[in-house]
Structure 1
Amino acid sequence: MSEPNTSCAAFQRNAAIDPAAVAVRSIGGDHTLTWRQYADQVREVAAGLHALGVGHGDTVALMMGNRVEFYPVEVGVQHTGATSFSVYNTLAPEQLNYVFENAGNRVVICEQQYVERIRRSGAPIEAIVCLDGAPEGTLGLPELKAMGSGDFDFEATWRAVRPEDILTLVYTSGTTGNPKGVEITHSNVLAEARAFHAVLPVAFGDRQTSYLPSAHMADRFCCLYLQQVYGIQITVVPDRSLLPAALVDVHPTIWGAVPRVWEKLKAAIEFAVANEPDEPTRAGLQWALGVAARKADAQLSGTAIGVELATEWAEADERVLSALRAKIGLDQLKWAMSGAAPIPPQTLGFFFGLGIPISEIWGMSELTCVASACPPAQARLGSVGRMLPGMQWRIAEDGEFLVRGPLVMKGYRKEPHKTAEALDADGWLHTGDILAVDDGGYLRVVDRKKELIINSAGKNMSPANIENAVKAATALVGAIATIGDARPYNTALIVIDAETATLYAARHGLPDASAPALAADPGVLTEIARGVAAGNATLSRVEQIKRFTVLPTFWEPGGDEVTLTMKVRRKPIADKYAEEIERLYAEKPGDTVHEPAEAQAAR
C-alpha cells in the first residue's frame, strides 16, 4: 500500500486500523470518540459543509476551546478539499476582521460565546455554525450534519484533495504589525510528520494532551496532525489550570510544552517538596532532588557522571524519583520536548536530573512547526538538536540562519512582497533567527536577528539569553524585558508571574496577591533582586542587568507586551514604558528602581 500523500488519506488509513479504539477523549474519559465514531462524524460534517457550498479551495475558520468536537469538525473541513484554520479566542473584533478578510473565509464554526464578537468583526461571513447551541441566525452542528445530501460523493471528494493544496493557515503572533497568514500544504505536513517521526518516534495509540490553542502550530502539529498521520490518542484539556490533573489522568507517552509550562511545573514540584507536611517524606524528597541536582550540574557542565554519582542516582530513582514522576504523570514518556522559545538550561537540567530528559526543538510556523530535534539519548542541554532529515541549512553573511526543504511554507496569504522577502529565488527561507552550529551539526539558538542588543560600546548581546538567566533563578519572574540597545549598560522591566504570585502570597501569609501589592512588597523585591544577581552571575559583565524595576501589573498573553505565545513585544514595550525606562538610566532613578547588590560597584 502506498504512503498517504494528504492528511485526509492518512486519517482514513488510521481510522481503519482499530475502529473501536478511543481516538479523542476528555479528562477522565466522560466524553470519548472511537475511531469509528470519529470517521462517521467527519463524513457528516463534510456532507453538511458541501451542502453549504464549501468545497475545494474554500476556507473555513474555527473559533473554540480545546474540546472533543474540534477534531471531527476540523478533519471534516479538510475532507471537502477546503482549508481549515483556527483563530485565537482572545482576538478582538477588529483583529478578527483582519484575519477573516485575509483568509477569505465565508464560514466560521465556533462556540456560542464567540458569535456576537464574530458578528461585530464586520467580516463578510455568510454562515456561522455553532457547536453548543443555535443562536438566532446561526446553524447548530446537528443542523449542519442533517443538511448533508445522500448523493454527496464523500469518497471521491476527499480523494480529489491534492498534496499541494493548502491544508491550513497559521497566523503568526506578530511582535510587530498585523499577523501574517502562513500557508501550509498537505505535502508540508506529511513531510514534517515523517521527518519528525524519524527522530522522535510516534506510534498508533501513543497518548498526548491538547492544551495549547489550536491556532498555535505546536498544538495543530503535535496533536491534530500527528493523530491523522500516526493515530495517536488525544485528551483535550479545556483549561490550562487542568493540565496537572490531565497529566495524572493520561500518563502521556509523548509530550511537549513551551518553556513557561516546564518552568511552572518545576516551580510546582519545588513548592510541593518544600511544603510536604510529613518530615521524613520531605527529607527523602529533598535528598533525592539534591542527587538529581548534582547529576544535572554534571550534565550542564559537560562533566562525566562518575560511578559513585550514577549509583546514588539509581538509588534515588528507585526510592523516590520514579514515584515522583508517576505522581506528576510523566512516568511513561517515550520522549518529551520543549519549543516555541528558548528554555533556561537550568530548567532542562532539573528535569534531566529527575529522569525526564527533554529534547529542545527549534522551528517556526513557516517551517510547518519543528525543524530541528534530537532523540533524548543524543540531546545536548542548551542545543536544539540537529536539522530534521531532508532539510538543508546555511548561514548568511550577516549571521542569519537560512533553511531549504520540504517543510518550507508555500507563502504568506495574499502578501507576495512579504513572501518574497522571506523566501528567496533559490527557495531559501530567511528565518530571522541567529543560530550557531557546532562540528557535530548541533544547533544553538542565539536570538532573533532583529532583537539583538547593540550597546553604546558596540557590543552585541542576546536579550533572550539574559532574560532566561534571570527566569531560571527565580520562579517569581513571569516575564522580563531587557533594555540596553544604544545604552551604556543593561536594565530590565520585570513582571511577576501571576500563578507563582498566588503561591508566594499564601506561603508568606500575604493578604494581597495583586500585582501592585507584590511589586511593592520588600520580601518579593528581595527575592527578585536575588534572582537577578544569580542570573547575572552566569553572564559576562557587559550582559549583566545593572538596574531593574518591577512593574505593578501582570502581562497577559496577547496583550500589549507579550504575544499569545508569550514572546516579548519589544518595540511596544519600549513605547509604553518609556518613562519607566528613562528612570532606569537617570542619575537619581527613584524608589521604584532597584539594583542587585553587586551592580552599583560593577557599573
Structure 2
Amino acid sequence: MTGTQSLIENRPPSVASLFLERVAATPDAEAYRYPVPADDGQGPDGWKSLTWGQAATRVFAVAAGLMDLGVRPEERVAIAANTSVEWILADLGVLCAGAATTTIYPSTNADETAFILADSGSRILIAEDAAQLAKARQRRAELPDLAHVVVIDTADAADPDGDGWVLSLQELEKRGAAFLEQHPEAVREAVAALQRDQLATLIYTSGTTGRPKGVRLPHDAWAYMARAIEAIDLLDENDVQYLWLPLAHVFGKVLTAGHITVGHVTAVDGRVDKIIENLPIVQPTYMAAVPRIFEKVYNGVAAKARAGGGAKYKIFQWAAEVAREYAKATQNSMRLTGSPTAPLALRTKHALADKLVYAKLRAAFGGRLRACVSGSAALAPDIGYFFAGAGIHILEGYGLTESSAASFVNPGESYRTGTVGKALPGLEVRIAEDGEIMLRGPGIMLGYHGLPEKTAEVLEPDGWFHTGDIGELSPDGFLKITDRKKDLIKTSGGKYIAPAEVEGQFKAVCPFVSNVLVVGGGRNFCTALLALDEPTILGWAAEHGLAGRTYQEVVTGDEVRELIDGYVQRLNEGLQRWQQIRNFRILPRDLDVEHGDLTPSLKLKRPVVEREFAPLIDEMYTGSRES
C-alpha cells in the first residue's frame, strides 16, 4: 500500500476526530487569524490569533453548550452568518457534539431561510446578528422544531420575548463550560461515537427554479476530503491561507477540512470589500477564489493602465500577451519534459514585462502568493494564462456540492490552464457515452434530504453520481469541462454550442464586461446579453467626455454600443460561424445575487436571467438593430 493510499484508507471517521488529532499534535501553534475593528471604527483593523489549543477550548464549549440545550446526534444546527472565525468554531462545535450543520447564506431572504430551517428540521439557529435573528422571529410560529436562536453579535442578542428563545454565543459557551465541569469527557465521548455514515452537513443548493435541495454529506466525506488534500501536497504547514469565501458554500467548507489536517495558518475575513485592503496585511501564500474575483482584478489592472495614458496601456497590452505566450510555453514544456522552460527571446521579454507590470501585480496580492485555487465556475483560459505568466499561479479545480466540492484539482507546478486538473486520490471517474462526467467515491453525498426521487435521478444504486457536466479526460488524467449538460445550446440548424466557452472567451477579450449570457437554443443564430462592470465603464466614460452620466445613461449611449460592438467583432473572428454573436444587448444594470440573477457563489442563473430580460432577447430576434 502506498503512503497516499494508507493516508486515505486509514482516515478517521470524521473531521471532528481529525480536529482532536490536530489539537493534540500542535496545541500551541497558530491556527486562525481574524480582524478586530479599530475602537473608533475608522482606523485600520487589528488582527488577533487563536492557537489550536485556544480554538479547542471554544469548540468544546460550543459543543457542550449545544448538548446542554438538548441537541442530540444527527440533529441539525443551522448557521446563518458571514465567514468569520466564529462560523468555523461554531461548525466544529456542532460536529464535535455529534450534530449536523445546516448552512444558510446570510443573503438568503426570510422566506427561503424559513423553508431551509423547516425542511432541515433544525433545532438551533446560530445567527450572525439582529438581521438574521429577525428572519427566524418573523416565522417562529412556522418553525416548531426551532428551540433556540444563538446570536454571534452580543450587541444583537437581546431576548425580545423574554422566554429564553434567544441567547448569545458567549452565553452558549458559558453554559458549555459549566456543562463540562459536570461531564468533562462528554465532547470526547461524542466524537468517539461518531460513525462514518452519520450526517455531518446539510447544504442547500441554490436552485435556478423552485426550492433548493438539501444535500446530505456524511462525516466520512469531510474526513476523506481532508486526507485527500493532505495526500496531494497542495498545502504545507508553513502556508498562510486567506479565507474569505462563504462557508455556507461547499467550496469554503472543504478548505476548513484541509486546514485542520495540514495545520497551517488561516486568516479569516468574509468581507469581500476588504479583500484588496487585507492582502498586503495578511500576505497569504495560498488563497481560493471564484473566477469573478480574478476577472475583476484583471479588468481593474487594465482600467488602471488605460487611465495612465496611451503609452501605459500599450505596455500593459504587450505585457499581457507576453504573459500568455510565456505561460503556454512553460506549461507545454512542463508537460513534455517535466521542466518549465521557454525560448531565450521570450524569457528576455518576460523579464522586462515582469519589472514593468507583473511585479506590481504580485505585490498587490501581498507579495508571497504561491498559488490560488479557482473553483465554482470556469475561468476563461486567456485570463488564467495572463495570471500564470505574471507569476500568480491559478490552479483550477472542480467539484459539486453533491461531491463535497473538491473532486479534481490541478497539481502544483505541473498545472494546466484550461483544465481542472486530476482526480483526487480515492475518487473513481468515467465519461459516459454522451460525454457526461460520472463520479464515485467517499466524497459523494448520501442523497437529497427528504427527496428520494430526486436522489434516484442522479445517484445510481452502485454509487455512480451523474454530475450533469460534460467533459473530456486526457490520456494522463487531466479533465477539461466543456459545459453543463443541460446548458448546451442546439440551434435550429442542429449545431450544438457550449455557451460557457463563448462567454469565457468574451470575458478575456473585453475588459469592460462583468457578466455574459449567450442565447441561441432553438434559434437560427446566437445572441448575447451583456452586463458591464460599473467602475470600469464609468472610468472609460469620464475619459471620453461622458463624465457625470449615470451607469444606465452611459451603457444605453451609442458610444458604448460602438465600443462593445468592436469587442464582439473581435470575439467572432475566433469563432465558428454558428457560434458567432450576431446581435447583443447591454443590460441596464449588472447581474447580482440581490436580484436573483446569480447564486451566492456567483454562478449565472440562466433561466432567471432569460426570463427577466425576455423582451430584450425577443427584440434581438425580430431583426431590430442587428450587429
TM-score by structure 1 length?
A: 0.91
Q: CA offsets per residue over residues 490-516 of structure 1, 9 Å max, x none? A: 011111224434544555564456442
Match of 2:182 in 1: 151
Where do residues 57-456 of structure 1 align in structure 2 (5 Å cutoff)?
A: 57-112=74-129, 113-121=131-139, 122-124=142-144, 125-133=146-154, 134-136=157-159, 137=161, 138-148=166-176, 149=179, 150-152=181-183, 153-222=186-255, 224-275=256-307, 288-289=319-320, 291-296=322-327, 298=329, 305-314=342-351, 316-317=353-354, 319-320=355-356, 323-329=359-365, 331-456=367-492
Cα distance in 2 for residues equivalent to 1:509 and 1:81:
63
Q: CA offsets per residue over residues 226-259 of structure 1, 9 Å max, x none? A: 2222223222223212111222112212222111
Cα distance in 1 for residues equivalent to 2:238 and 2:16:
19
Is 1:15 the equivalent of 2:6? no
Offset at residue 434 of structure 1 (A): 0.6
What's the % identity of the aligned pairs?
32
Q: Which runs of 4+ in 1 moved over 6 A?
A: 281-287, 299-304
Change over 3 Å in CA distance of 1:205–1:296 after alignment to 2:
closer
Aligned partner of residue 378 in structure 1, secondary structure: coil
Offset at residue 58 of structure 1 (A): 0.8
TM-score by structure 2 length?
A: 0.88
Aligned partner of residue 90 in structure 2, secondary structure: helix
Offset at residue 326 of structure 1 (A): 4.1
Cα distance in 1 for residues equivalent to 2:329 and 2:234:
28
Cα distance in 2 for residues equivalent to 1:447 and 1:326:
31
Change over 3 Å in CA distance of 1:200–1:339 after alignment to 2:
farther
Of 38-47 and 379-388, more deviation after overlay is shown by 379-388
Q: CA offsets per residue over residues 75-127 of structure 1, 9 Å max, x none? A: 11111000013211111111112211221102101122211112224433220
Cα RMSD of the aligned pairs, angstroms, is 2.6
Unmatched 5+ stretches in structure 2: 1-6, 36-44
Aligned partner of residue 495 in structure 1, secondary structure: strand
Aligned length: 588
Offset at residue 410 of structure 1 (A): 1.3
Cα distance in 1 for residues equivalent to 2:317 and 2:463:
53
Match of 1:566 in 2: 602
Q: CA offsets per residue over residues 405-435 of structure 1, 9 Å max, x none? A: 1221111111111111110112110110111
Cα distance in 1 for residues equivalent to 2:567 and 2:60:
55
Cα distance in 2 for residues equivalent to 1:581 and 1:172:
28
Offset at residue 546 of structure 1 (A): 0.3
Cα distance in 1 for residues equivalent to 2:315 and 2:501:
34
Q: CA offsets per residue over residues 529-573 of structure 1, 9 Å max, x none? A: 222222222221110110001111221125332222222222233
Cα distance in 1 for residues equivalent to 2:435 and 2:309:
53
Structure 1 contact 496–515 (Cα < 8 Å) conserved: no
Cα distance in 1 for residues equivalent to 2:197 and 2:428:
21
Change over 3 Å in CA distance of 1:532–1:283 after alignment to 2:
closer
Structure 2 contact 213–448 (Cα < 8 Å) conserved: yes
Q: Return the letter of the residue paired with 2:237.
A: F
Aligned partner of residue 211 in structure 2, secondary structure: coil
